[in-house]
């Protein structure tokens, strides 16, 4: 295994923790580290979401780094609170403080001792650039926010606390919200980036204008649901707090969505509404219509583990499309059963994607797509060269149907372009000059 990355797939845990923090209302992530760490993350997130990304840094400089001066952090937090007035700060470590061994909990206590009148909630989130990836960073941030919460009982038991994962889009959250509400239940997303990064605000803001309002006391939900195995850590924390939990490996595909709908039906004692039944029928019908175009087709995947699990289950197990190569950031136990899975970057993917017909990864996959003249379906993070990706839906029957039609139409057009009639219409020379 090489000790460097070529055309990287992995994003740092700091980025994941930052994204999770942005899912809470009136909140701002503050990076305890150098300015460069924050500048890079802000840049890549702005390109992906095309929205204002509230973010600050303690801007450690070399002398403070060597001497280990906590005053820089205290001063930095004070300035952020004075200028931005957030209700909550997610204080996220970067590689430098982690190497130095900074104790964030102690440093936050020192801050409150020096500024006892400040009421802003400061949540220490200890992650680093050299351990884990964006998915684990997102999960660690959820646990940090969740750790301070106490639950109280209520006679109203219609709340479902839903733990989201790094790969979920704003569109996914909105679709799941629609499904849950159609059963008469109240979804509470933890965190909720659809409200803060979904593009519905027309004014400038310094802190997140939407998202879940963070409180240290929440009404005890009927159930806590985790979407993706990366939420398991957060679910176990909730279980210790007396909350009933349910883990769904994915909400992509027919089987996974069926399990989710059955669960909601049991929770609400209601049958699925007609709108849900209708779109399920449309998904099944489209699966039948499109299966001709999947014969002998191969797809290469390079995404985070939660998304990899969902895509493999839908594309291979339900649609019967061969997965020629699957590269992810780290191999979890639930992925070890997949023969083609590898841990690495897009260079690793290139070594195994023999005779591939379609590539599915983030915008960095354009290099491979252009090199081998393979169609690219952009998915994951970041998607910098496509408008509206954060609003796309991949979850539920609707998201599965949307992804299915996108892939099927690529293969359909490819088959048409190889046909005799297409050559005759365009001219053989036109066809021969194209690499399909």
From residue 94, alpha-carbon distances to 215, 295, 303, 327 in Å are: 26, 47, 23, 26
Q: For position 250, which CATH number holds?
A: 3.40.50.1980
- Does residue 414 sit within a domain? no
Residues 222 and 129 in one domain: no
- Decide if pLDDT at 4 tops 90: no
CA separation for the pair 348, 109 (Å, rounded):
45
Q: 339-349 burial by CB neighbour count: b if 16+ within 10 A, else e?
A: ebbbbbbbbbb
What lies within 8 Å, CB to CB, of 390 at 6+ separation is 48, 49, 169, 170, 171, 197, 198, 199
- Does residue 425 sit within a domain? no
From residue 346, alpha-carbon distances to 6, 176, 300 in Å are: 7, 31, 10
Residue 393: Cβ within 10 Å count: 21
CA separation for the pair 11, 30 (Å, rounded):
18
- Does residue 161 sit within a domain? yes
Cβ(421)–Cβ(430) under 8 Å? no
Considering 148, 168, 191, which residue would you say is the last residue of a domain?
A: 148
- Decide if pLDDT at 317 tops 60: yes
Considering 107, 131, 148, which residue would you say is the last residue of a domain?
A: 148
Residues 82 and 109 in one domain: yes
Residues 87 and 126 in one domain: yes
Residues 369 and 326 in one domain: yes
From first CA to last CA, the distance across the chain in angstroms is: 33
- Decide if pLDDT at 234 tops 90: yes
- Does residue 3 sit within a domain? no
Pairing label, strands 88-93, 121-125 = parallel
Confidence of residue 201 (pLDDT cuts 50, 70, 90): confident
Q: How many residues does the chain have?
A: 436
pTM of the entire predicted model: 0.93
Query: Three-state DSSP class for 119?
Result: coil
- Does residue 420 sit within a domain? no
The number of distinct structural domains making up the chain is: 3
Q: What is the domain extent for residue 130?
A: 13-148
Residues 110 and 48 in one domain: yes
Give the model's pLDDT for residue 435: 47
- Does residue 293 sit within a domain? yes
Considering 116, 148, 180, which residue would you say is the last residue of a domain?
A: 148
Beta bridge partners of 212: 24
- Which has the closest alpha carbon to 381: 20, 38, 88? 20
- Does residue 332 sit within a domain? yes
CA separation for the pair 112, 224 (Å, rounded):
32
Residues 166 and 107 in one domain: no
* Mean pLDDT for all residues in the chain: 91
Give the model's pLDDT for residue 157: 80
Give the model's pLDDT for residue 98: 76
Residues 103 and 163 in one domain: no
Residues 156 and 140 in one domain: no
> Does residue 430 come out as left (phi exceeding 0), alpha (psi in the -120 to 50 range) or beta?
alpha
Q: Which of 1-15, 61-75, 313-327 has the lowest mean pLDDT?
A: 61-75
- Does residue 426 sit within a domain? no
Confidence of residue 370 (pLDDT cuts 50, 70, 90): very high
pLDDT digits (tens, 9 = 90+) for 376-402: 999 999 999 999 999 999 999 999 999
Confidence of residue 427 (pLDDT cuts 50, 70, 90): low
Residues 175 and 258 in one domain: yes
| Percent of the chain's residues with pLDDT above 70 | 93
Give the model's pLDDT for residue 74: 86
Give the model's pLDDT for residue 215: 87
Residues 202 and 232 in one domain: yes
Residues 20 and 82 in one domain: yes
Cβ(376)–Cβ(369) under 8 Å? yes
Residues 199 and 256 in one domain: yes
| Structural tokens at position 146 | 């969740």
């Amino acid at each position: 295994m090489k000790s460097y990355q070529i055309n990287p797939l992995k994003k740092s845990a700091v980025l994941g923790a930052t994204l999770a923090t942005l899912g809470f209302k009136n909140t701002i992530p503050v990076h305890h580290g150098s300015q460069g760490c924050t500048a890079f993350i802000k840049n890549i997130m702005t390109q992906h979401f095309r929205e204002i990304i509230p973010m600050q840094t303690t801007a450690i400089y070399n002398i403070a780094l060597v001497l280990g001066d906590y005053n820089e952090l205290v001063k930095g937090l004070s300035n952020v609170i004075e200028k931005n007035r957030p209700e909550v700060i997610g204080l996220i470590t970067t590689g430098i403080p982690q190497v130095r061994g900074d104790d964030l909990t102690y440093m936050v206590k020192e801050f409150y001792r020096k500024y006892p009148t400040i009421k802003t909630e400061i949540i220490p989130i200890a992650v680093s650039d050299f351990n884990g990836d964006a998915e684990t960073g997102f999960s660690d941030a959820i646990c940090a926010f969740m750790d301070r919460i106490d639950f109280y009982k209520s006679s109203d038991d219609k709340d479902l606390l839903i733990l989201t994962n790094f790969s979920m889009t704003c569109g996914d959250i909105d679709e799941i919200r629609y499904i849950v509400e159609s059963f008469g239940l109240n979804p509470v997303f933890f965190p909720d980036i659809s409200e803060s990064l979904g593009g519905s605000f027309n004014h400038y803001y310094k802190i997140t204008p939407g998202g879940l309002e963070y409180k240290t006391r929440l009404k005890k939900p009927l159930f806590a649901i985790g979407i993706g195995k990366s939420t398991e850590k957060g679910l176990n924390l909730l279980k210790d707090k007396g909350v009933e939990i349910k883990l769904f490996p994915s909400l992509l595909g027919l089987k996974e969505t069926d399990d989710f709908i059955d669960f909601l039906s049991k929770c609400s004692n209601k049958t699925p509404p007609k709108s849900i039944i209708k779109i399920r029928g449309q998904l099944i019908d489209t699966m039948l219509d499109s299966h001709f175009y999947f014969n002998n087709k191969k797809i290469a995947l390079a995404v985070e583990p939660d998304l990899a699990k969902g895509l493999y289950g839908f594309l291979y197990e339900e649609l019967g499309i061969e997965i020629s190569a699957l590269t992810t950031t780290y191999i979890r136990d639930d992925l070890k059963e997949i023969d083609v899975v590898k841990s690495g970057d897009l260079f690793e993917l290139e070594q195994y994607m023999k005779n591939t017909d379609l590539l599915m990864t983030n915008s960095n996959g354009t290099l491979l797509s252009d090199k081998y003249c393979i169609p690219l379906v952009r998915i994951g993070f970041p998607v910098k060269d496509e408008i509206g990706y954060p609003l796309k839906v991949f979850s539920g029957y609707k998201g599965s149907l949307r992804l299915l039609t996108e892939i099927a139409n690529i293969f359909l057009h490819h088959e048409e372009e190889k046909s005799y009639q297409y050559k005759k219409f365009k001219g053989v020379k036109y066809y021969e000059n194209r690499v399909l």
